[in-house]
Amino acid sequence: MPYYIKRKKKTTSAKTSRKSPTLSTLTHRLDDVFSKYIRLRDAMPSGLFRCISCGQIKPISQADCGHFHSRVHMNTRFDEDNCHAECRACNRFSADHIIGYRENLIKKIGERRFTLLEFKAHQNKQWAHFEIEQLIKYYRARVEMLKKEKGIDL
């Protein structure tokens, strides 16, 4: 092509240049909405919750979504049996919180489901984009339902 013929630059519209979010971005979004769901699920209508590790009753503003098996285990990262409301002191700063967590978790879900959770934690799982997107939609709907039901806003 001769040097004197200029080509028109292709213009991209906002719709065509939009990239789909990465798996990491979707996982962070799901973490946020799943954490809200767990804290609302375990909250009392009065706006208080009982820490699964230490048993203290505290305001919902001091709640974290505590995982019995670490979030590294992708198979149980978003498992409702693995996650419960936990006070920030236990979740972030207490090294031995897992002892109380284990005892109270067995009382709450039973020995059979606890054994199944142990098994699931050591299985490999790779989430697909579609699965995570569907879970985000599901838990957003559940969060909105619980907000209305309990009258609590996080």
On whether residue 61 sits in a domain, the answer given is: yes
Per the structure, the count of domains in the chain is 1
On whether residue 49 sits in a domain, the answer given is: yes
On whether residue 19 sits in a domain, the answer given is: no
DSSP string, 133-154: HHHHHHHHHHHHHHHHHHT---
Q: pLDDT by residue (tens digit) across 24-52?
A: 999 999 999 999 999 999 999 999 999 99
Range of the domain at 141: 24-147
On whether residue 11 sits in a domain, the answer given is: no
On whether residue 140 sits in a domain, the answer given is: yes
Average pLDDT, the chain: 91
On whether residue 52 sits in a domain, the answer given is: yes
On whether residue 152 sits in a domain, the answer given is: no
Q: pLDDT by residue (tens digit) across 40-93?
A: 999 999 999 999 999 999 999 999 999 999 999 999 999 999 999 999 999 999
Of 41, 60, 53, 68, which Cα lies nearest the Cα of 146? 41
On whether residue 154 sits in a domain, the answer given is: no
DSSP SS3 for 83: strand
Confidence of residue 95 (pLDDT cuts 50, 70, 90): confident
